[in-house]
Structure formats: C-alpha cells, structure tokens
A and B are shown apart, each in its own frame.
Chain A
Amino acid sequence: MKRIFIYIVFSMTIFISTGCGGSDESVSNWDVDTSAMHPKDNTGDWIIVHELSDSDGLNPYTSTGAGGTYIYSQNIFEAMMIQDNQTLEYVPWIATDQPVISKDKLSYTFTIRKDVYFSDGTPLTGKDVIFSLKAVKNPFTDAAPLRNYYKDVSKAELVNGDLYKINFTCSEVYFKHDVIIGAGISILPRHIYDPTNIMSSYSFDDLEALLAKFTDNNYSMEQFESESAYQFAQFFNSHEVSRNPVGSGPFIFKEWRTDDRVVLNRSRNYWKSSETESLNLVDRLIFKTVKQYDAALTGLKAQEIDLIRNLPPELFFNQTNSTKFNKNNDKKSFYYPNYSYIGWNNEHPIFSDKRVRRAMTHLCNRAKIVDILYYGEAQPAIGNVYFKRPEYHHGIKPWEFNPEKAKALLADAGWSDTDGDGVLDKVINGVNTPFSFEFTTNQGNEIRKKIGLIMVEELRKVGVAADVHTMEWSVYLDNVRDHKFDAMILGWVIGVDSPDPYQVFHSSQATGRGSNSVSFKHERADKIAEVNRKEFDAEKRKELMLEFQEILHEEQPYTFLVCSKSHLVHHKRFKGIDIYPFRPGYDLKEWWVPSAIQKYSK
C-alpha cells in the first residue's frame, strides 16, 4: 500500500511541479561574502534539525534508539576522547593526552583536564567518570547492551586519590579498549544522577557479584528489591531522569515536547569555548520530529526546517530540483561506513557449498542495483571493511555479474535439471531437492525488497526458483537470529575505526543468537579474528584484515552488495559546514550564521 502511495504522490508532484514551477526569482539572499567575518562575532540564530521519530530518552546509557544519540552525544554529554572529524583518529577531549597503556595491555591510565565544568558549574572529576562506568555495570540499569561492551573493563579507580587521574583495569587484551573506555563512556555528573551517592558504596567486584546472582535463575526479580543498587537503578532508569539530561557539553537541555521537539540552548560558559574560534556558535538547537520525509521536505522548502539528514534517495534526487528549493537550500551526499548484503544461510543444504554461494554472487547484477535503486550513487562492496579505511583490500575485484560462470559453477556443484521441470535439482542426503528458496527481508525497506526482485529475475533465467518474502521488522529480526531463513537481505552500519570482524564472522557467534546469523565457520578466519583483537600494531592488523577479506571473497558467506551514500539537505544561511565520512555527517558545533542573515533570535 505504501509503495503505491509513494508512486502516486511522485507522479502527481512531478506532473505538477513541471507544470507550474519557477515562479520565484532564483536569486539567493543567503550567499554572503564571509571571508572577512569571524564566526565568533556572529553567534546567534537557531538550527532546526529534522528527526524521524521522537527519541526514547536522553540518557546515554538507558536509551537505545539511534535518534537520541544525535541529540545528546557531544551536544550534552562528552567523553574523554573524541573522534577527529578529519583524520578519523581518536584524540583527547576531556583527557589531556592519549591513555598510558601498561606493558601487559590490561591497564589504561587517563589524565583528565582540571578546567572542565558541567553546565551547572560543578567541576568534572574522575569520580564522575568512575560513577558513569558503575552506572553501566549495575545489573539493574537498562544498560544491558552497553554492559556487554564493557564486560572486559573490570575496574576503574583514581590513581593515588588524584581526582584527575583514572586507572582502568581490563580482564582481556583488546586493541579497542582505549576507544571503548575513552570515547565510549559518556561522563554523567554523579551529584545529579546519583544524588544520595548510592553507587560509591559498591565496588566493581560487588557489582560483578550482583550480576552473577541476577543471572542465576534461582533468584527472581523480587529478591533484589531491597538492594540499594536496585533502588538506584529505578531512579536512573526513570523517565524523569532520561528527560532531564545534564552534562558538560556545549548545549544545555531546555525543553522536550513529546512527539514534537527537543530544545537545547547554547551553554554560555562552555569550558572549551575560549580555546577555538569556531565552536558552539548558534543559540539554540531544535530537534523537530516529523514522522514522514515528504512532510519534512515540505517543511524544509517552507524554511521551517533547516536540516534533514538521511533523506531517501528517491526524494533526494526527484524532489529537490525546483528553483525555490535551490534558492534556499544546499544538498550534500557523502559515503558513510556501511554495506548491504545478501546473507546465505551457510547451514542450509543448498548454500553450504561455497560454489553455489559464489554462483549466486555471479548472478547479482550490482551495476543494475546501483543504477536503478541508488541513482548511480553507491559503491560495490567486497567485504567487511569500509573502503576509506587503510585496511581495505584494493586488490580484490568484486565477482562480476556473469550468468555463464554461475551456470558452470552450479553444474560443477552437481545441480542440473533432471526432471525437465525448468528448475535445477540435485540429490541431497538421498532426497531429490529442487533449487528453490526464499529471500527474506523487512517490510518497509523498498530498496532491499527490489534487490530481492532483481535477484529473483536473474535466478529464474538459470533455472533457480526464488521468491521474496517480507516480514515486519521485529519478526524478521527474530527469524534472522534463530537462523530461520534461506537467504536474507540486510545491511550493517559499521564503525569508521579499525575493523574487528569477530562479532559478525567468528564461528562462536553463530550460536546463542549471536550476530553470525549465516553460520559462517572457517578455521583460518576464526584465527585471524582472534589474533586481530589482541594485536596493538596497526600495520600488523592491516595485514590480518587483508587476508581476512580474501577469505570472505573466496567463501562468499554473504554476497556483499554496495556501500551507499547518505544524503542531507540544509538551509543555505549556515556557514562553516564540513561534511564528514560517517554519520550523521556534520558537526553542529561548527555551524554559524552571519549576523545580517540570521533568522531566529532569542
């Protein structure tokens, strides 16, 4: 129904917009010569940012929705380290320097700045950092997914009672621990999130013991109600706390109206303001919820919305060409670390043979997919590494679209049409099995569904009967994690930092509902994934990852499809905009508006 509706909307609007567009003068009022201006002298104005749904909360540990992250991360809450927008490396932010790592790679010591203040004026100290880690480690807080990441960070303590020097102890060697600790822990003010200081009476060992007890099935939830860590969690998880965030960042939370907007105001005495020319310049950020891209784009054209990120390609390429649009707005596209793929269930009797998987890849017309579904704006993917990373294997050419080769591979694997019904078959475990299967994907993602349809068409030509089946997201997720699929079409958003294939491709993750849903099991790949985690030398990790990509290319557990672009549109009055190769693609702290053309005032 939705698809039909989008078509009708398009055909109507295209029809009409070609008929009566262009009545506006095409001169833009927003092109101002900024060469002689200093951003610092032009503070003010608001940025109205589009959000597709209301956030589920602004607590960095208990809110899991992605929407909230863009609101609070770096705007309200900060961490000891930050990813540099240009070099993509992690650099000190609240920390004074990179952490000191012990010889056994198990201990990390961070020194933090003494001039950092929360927005209420309280100084930020190591106690707040330790409290933040404890909040994650407390088994009763709603931070379960994060707790998983911090499983191996077992302890944090002040070094000799120095409030600005913190030592973290890890139980396992892992090259990403500096990032997990440094950039992952959003620092919360302890005096606000734990006003009665409950958590200081718990050591990290106590929390570990509590977790063990909690995991034990002999204990039920009720037995923990008298525990003060439980009572702390009740407060910490509460709606009120996640709706009133306080941090050290350049913006201060002002207001939240459900399903409508979240308002942040500029912090007047942000600790880092004095250091640079171009930081924290607009007076207000409004995150405005509009649940439909068509409406949001109309809002942008009406100059009521200033920024839409992640605009669907069909809108980006078809609906942003009017003179009125281009008079007031700019469009930008950028690659971000992601790839889409077709996952073959490696335990499926048909797809357990790598020749069959490779034949499938030979039947995948990536050029057509990029052309039709991505408007030419996507890059073929060959493996699990983002193509802008140094670890990316430039020597691998994606398996080309070649039905003849596919046929040969299938014949080689024993598939032929013995009963003359037009569908290939093969005797597997004594049963004559026809080559027919189903692609599954989630409802509402038209691109994925169409990828499936394009595949079905090519497969039909070589005698493979396939079908596309869509299901609701939560049901789909259930099926994927239970390995209940033949082939699935999905995507990963990956990190822009050093790749670690363990979670997705290690054989241990194929059980217990881990992320290796396709059950890829390869001895050498397992070994590489394990060694890679403990390797601190970036050059050596690069070698390992190159080999890993070769294995993936050879084995084809997935048919890697494309790395796509993200599209954003914004109002022209903003200056100082840089686009970065990861989501969301911009840094609002840097945006400013020349005083003469500012739109909103306080």
Chain B
Amino acid sequence: MLNYIIRRILLVFPTLFVITVISFAISRLAPGDPAELKAGVGSSQGLSTGQGRDLNEKMIELIRKQWNLDKPLFYITTIDDFNDDHPKSFFSRLMYRWNGTNNQYHIWTANVFKLDFGKSFRDNQPVFDKIKERVPITLALSLISTLLAYLIAIPLGIYSAVNQHTLWDRISTVTVFIFYSLPNFWIGTMLIIFFGGGDFFDWFPYAGLYSNNYESLSTMGKFTDLIWHMILPITVYTYGSFAYLSRQMRVGMLEIIRQDYIRTARAKGLTENVVIYKHALRNSLIPIITILAYILPAMISGSVIIETIFTIPGMGSLAFEAITSRDYPVVMAVFTISAVLTLIGILLADLLYSVVDPRITFGSKES
C-alpha cells in the first residue's frame, strides 16, 4: 500500500509538468494579445498625437518587453526550414534552435517553485494574493452547497429506491429532473428579479455579499448579513446537483437491496429500518464517496456563471476574467492549482476505494 502511494505521488510530477507545458502553450498561442489590450488601442479616439508610423506598434512592443513576452516561449523553437529547390524529408526540414533558460516557461516555472505566481497584468497585484483573497469565499459557498446537496439528495435517493414505482418515487424523480434541466443562469436571474426587491418581493439582496451599511454592523449582524446574501447563490449552486446525486444513490440502493444478504437480513426478522440503514446503506454509499473525492478541484474552482450573476468575488469569475483579458500569470496559476487538486483528488479517490471496499487492494500480492 505504502509502495503504491509513493509510486502514485512520484507520478504526479511528470504529469504536472506535461499539464503545465500544455496549458502554457494553449494560453500563449491563443489569439489575442494582453499588451494590446493594456494599450487600450481601439477603445477610444481620445487625445492622440500619434505622429510616427510605428507609434502603436512600438508602444505595444515596450509593454511586451516589460512583461517578458518578448522572450521565446520554450527551451526550443522550431524553425521550418523549407526549401523548394532542395526538398527534404519532414523531419530533417524541422530545425531546432536552443533558447537556453532565458525563456518564458523557464522563468515561470522557476518562480512557481518559489511559490511566486507572478503579478497580474491587469493591476500588478501578486497573483498569490489575488487567489488567497478569493478562495475562502468560493470554498464557503461550495462547502455549504455540497453539504446541503448531500443532506437532501441522499435521503431522497434512499426513499425513492425503497419505495420504487410509487407515486412519490415518480414525483421526486420528475421534480429533480426538472431542476436538473433548468439552466442555472436563468434560475439565478429569475431569483434576483423576483426575490431581490425589484418589482416583486423584497426578500433577499439582489447581488454581492455585503449590504451598503455592512461596516457599521455588529459582528453578529455582519454574520447574518453574509448568510442572508448567500441564500440565493447557494440555492442556485445546489439545486442542479440533486438529480445526479439522488439518482446515483437510488441506483446504488436498488442494486443492493436485491442482494442475497439483504434477503437474508429480512428473513432473520430484522426490522425494515435496520435492513435499509444498517446493511444496505453502507454498501450503496461506495459510488457516492468516490464522487465526493472528485469534488475537490471543483470546490475551489467555483462557478463562473453564478459568481458573475450574483457578483461574488470568487475563483470562477477570477479565472473567467483572466482568460478574457489574457492575464497569463493568473490563468497559469488557476490552471496549475486546479491540476494539482485534480491529481490529489484522483489519488484520494483511488485510496478511498480500498478503504471502503476491502476487495480492492493496490499492494502487490504477498506470495
């Protein structure tokens, strides 16, 4: 077992290397230029004295230089040395130039080892601080909503399985699937318009996490204010996952209660409650637990749509805005962190398998 864990952890590093190289390449090679966006060209006519032919060009070049974007991307650059007169084979045509360590990827990686993700192109704030500011908010929202989703969906799934084909089973199935099919951006906007104090009911705040008078509230007041602001976003976060979870639970449960040992338990004369909650539930939880492990990266990545609709300063909106504005340092930091969490999540899931199900082992068979 220990052997297995060590092997798996060692495997994380090459995987991570490949992931960062690929995401680095994708983010840099995507069209669009952050320096150009920074220069704000094309947005207003303004007071320009543009008199040189290459003024804009030069200006953008300087910004690129300041951000190290003028350096080569990677350790090697390929040069397509194609010559019609002397056709060569595909491989011999490709020439490589060695750039040494003075390349963008190397500089980035070297800094990441020092836990320095660089500074955001947008406002020069260190990326690490930016993320530190937002993770607690996203984490709070996703923890609460995951907890709620499980608390509601698991009993619902059990209930549907035990009372299969009853009216209740059908109603709950239809309801959760209706929820599942309603897009969250639409539900979010509807909730704001109807319950945010517009033309209808003034029950909840329309957006954000804090009231206008937040700072003058007592500690208790601040806490309730925060909870009050979180109700609508959490609702939107949660409702969609009912269907998936409760269906998983229902299927798992249905499979288990047809097993021989359940029949045996019933035959022994155990009460129905003991049969379901003691014997069946534990075994049917296995798929649910593995889903839980995969949730780890999703926990901090947040939701772009919900965070934008409710103006919540979380990771989702940070990542989205960074991508649209080509804020490479932030994009790379978000990619890397979610890659690490995904790898940890997968590792945990695999380990949990063997914990809950003794039939699965990873150690080499003892001879």
Contacts and interface: CB of A to CB of B under 8 A. Distances in A.
Of A238, A258, A259, A304, chain B has the most CB atoms within 10 Å of the CB of A259
Contacts of B50: 148, 502-503, 509, 514-515
B207 A290 contact: yes
Contacts of B88: none
Interface stretch (B72-80, B121-129, B280-288, B330-338): B121-129
A511 B42 CA distance: 14
A557 B190 CA distance: 44
A152 B48 CA distance: 11
15 contacts: A9-B186, A9-B190, A21-B199, A62-B124, A215-B61, A221-B66, A242-B123, A291-B309, A295-B309, A494-B44, A495-B45, A509-B50, A513-B41, A513-B60, A600-B213
A149 B62 contact: no
Interface string B61-75: 111011010000000
A271 to B, nearest CB: 26
B155 interface: no
B27 interface: no
Interface string B51-65: 111111111111101
Interface in B164-210: 183, 185-186, 189-190, 192-193, 196-200, 202, 205-210
Contacts of B38: 64, 142, 144-145
Contacts of B209: 260
Contact of B207 (A179, A258, A296, A502): A296
A336 B299 CA distance: 45
Interface stretch (B10-18, B140-148, B310-318, B347-355): B310-318
Contacts of A99: none
B100 interface: no
Given A298-B192, A299-B206, A474-B37, A258 B48 contact: no
A358 interface: no
Contacts of A160: none
Of B213, B311, B313, chain A has the most CB atoms within 10 Å of the CB of B311
B33 interface: yes
Contact of B49 (A63, A142, A180): A180
Of A255, A503, A513, chain B has the most CB atoms within 10 Å of the CB of A513
Contacts of A140: 66
A5 B183 contact: yes
Contact of A495 (B47, B59, B134, B312): B47
A294 B189 contact: yes
B308 A292 contact: yes
A299 B197 CA distance: 7
A260 B326 contact: no
Contact of A474 (B36, B62, B207): B36
A145 to B, nearest CB: 5
A304 B124 contact: no
Interface stretch (A113-121, A429-437, A448-456, A476-484): A476-484
A179 B45 CA distance: 15
Contacts of B87: none
A2 B190 CA distance: 14
B356 interface: no
Interface string A317-328: 000001011000
Contacts of B313: 54, 258-260
A304 B197 contact: yes
A257 interface: yes
A133 B109 CA distance: 37
A187 B196 CA distance: 42
A444 to B, nearest CB: 10
Nearest to B194: A16
A569 interface: no
B220 to A, nearest CB: 20
A502 B46 CA distance: 11
Contacts of A537: none
B308 to A, nearest CB: 5
A88 interface: no
Interface of A: 5, 8-9, 12-13, 16-17, 20-21, 46, 48, 53-54, 56-57, 62-64, 66, 139-140, 142, 144-145, 147-152, 172, 174, 176, 179-180, 184, 214-215, 220-221, 237-239, 242, 255, 257-261, 286, 288-292, 294-299, 301-304, 322, 324-325, 472-475, 477-478, 480-481, 490, 492-495, 500, 502-504, 508-509, 511-515, 600
B62 A139 contact: yes
Contacts of B42: 477, 480-481, 490, 515
A56 B123 contact: yes
A8 B186 CA distance: 8
Contacts of A324: 199
Given A322-B199, A474-B324, 5 more contacts: A57-B124, A142-B124, A145-B38, A299-B196, A472-B324
Contacts of A179: 47
B59 A472 contact: no
Given A56-B122, A239-B125, A477-B42, A148 B36 contact: no
A478 B31 contact: yes
Contacts of A147: 59
Contacts of B124: 57, 62, 142, 237-239, 242
B55 A299 contact: no
A291 B324 CA distance: 15
A474 B32 CA distance: 5
Q: Is the interface of A mostly helix, strand, loop or mixed?
A: mixed
A281 B144 CA distance: 44
A298 B43 contact: no
Of A8, A480, A512, chain B has the most CB atoms within 10 Å of the CB of A512
A179 B200 CA distance: 49
B59 A148 contact: yes
Contact of B317 (A259, A475, A478): A259
A504 B45 contact: yes
B185 to A, nearest CB: 6
Contacts of B46: 149, 495
B47 A180 contact: yes
B325 interface: yes
A49 to B, nearest CB: 12
A144 B36 CA distance: 11
B89 interface: no
Contact of B39 (A139, A144, A304, A600): A144
B62 A502 contact: no
Contacts of A512: 52-58
A513 B308 contact: no
A288 B311 CA distance: 10
Contact of B56 (A62, A221, A513): A513
B133 interface: yes
A139 B65 CA distance: 11
A477 B36 contact: yes
A17 B199 contact: yes
Contacts of A474: 31-34, 36-37, 324-326
B107 to A, nearest CB: 11
Contact of B198 (A261, A290, A298, A492): A298
B123 A239 contact: yes
B44 A492 contact: yes
Contact of B206 (A64, A145, A302): A302
A478 B311 contact: no
Nearest to B53: A512
B363 interface: no
Contacts of B367: none
Contact of A176 (B37, B47, B52): B47
Contacts of B210: 257, 260-261
B269 interface: no
A155 B57 CA distance: 24
A511 B53 contact: yes
B69 to A, nearest CB: 11
Contacts of A325: 199
Of A180, A473, A490, A514, chain B has the most CB atoms within 10 Å of the CB of A514
A443 to B, nearest CB: 10
Interface string B1-40: 0000000000000000000000000000001111011111
